[in-house]
Amino acid sequence: MKMTKIDRIPRELPAELLRLADGAAVYDSSSSPEARVYFIERDNGYFLKIGESGALGREAELIERFNKLSLTSRVLHYSTGERDIMLTERVAGKDLTDGTYLSDPKRLAAALGENMRALHDIDTSSLDMPVRLGEYLGRAEDNYRTGNYDSSHFPDSFGYRSADEAHGVLLRGLDSLVADTLIHGDYCFPNILFNDWKLSGYIDLGMAGISDRHIDLFWGAWTLGFNLHTDEYRNIFFDAYGRDMIDEDKLLTVAAAEVFG
């Protein structure tokens, strides 16, 4: 996780948050234009996230629900108004972009698969989680119709020659996708934290919920290729996850949805 030291957090914040940051080292760790993220180096560490009004409410709820499963930290503050403000405890450990993990790619690929399978094996029958599959497929269809298509960031094996080709694959396979699994929704190295090779928690849970496991499997394969600059370790990841639960056709369907954002 990239962090840039700054002089202070924005001053137009609740007084208790300003007091928390007063005298502490503060870093900007933002990774997207949608929200600003600050790390406050006090106690075990805190993350302060600021987004547009209404943008962080669902993520705050999901963090609380994952915290009950001991899979992430706590939300200490959430407020909404002209903008959303959320304060969370730091999840212990380092994310998977750390050199400790990247330097042992075979072990990393296996650990990624094993931990994803453990998440997906959680019994969903009594979970208070949103069902996300309809929203996921609806967004892909809307983006197809408005011309939002970009396959440039995906592995060649998941590539499509045109938006129409991808949309055709999506239409043929969408009925095979099933919302029966708790997924992260953005299962990428920066969002997974290990402590000495053991999972300590997940972050950036805004896309989490009950959906089809192949969405996480797609992103797991993608993040391995992107961060290790090769698809050499994908089979280790799939083997560790369990080939019995992987449908290659469903992966192609998810890939067709993902090119539409």
Query: What positions carry a catalytic annotation?
Result: 186
Looking at residue 261, what DSSP letter applies? -
Are the C-beta atoms of residues 206 and 62 closer than 8 Å to each other?
A: yes
- Quickly count: other Cβ atoms within 10 Å of residue 154's Cβ: 18
- CB neighbour class for 153 (10 Å; exposed up to 12, middle 13-18, buried from 19): exposed
Cα distance between residue 75 and residue 67, in whole Å: 9
The amino acid present at 185, given as its one-letter code, is G
Q: In what side-by-side order are the strands of the sheet with 46-52?
A: 4-6, 25-28, 35-41, 46-52, 83-89, 75-79
Say if strands 192-195 and 94-95 run parallel, antiparallel, or are unpaired. antiparallel
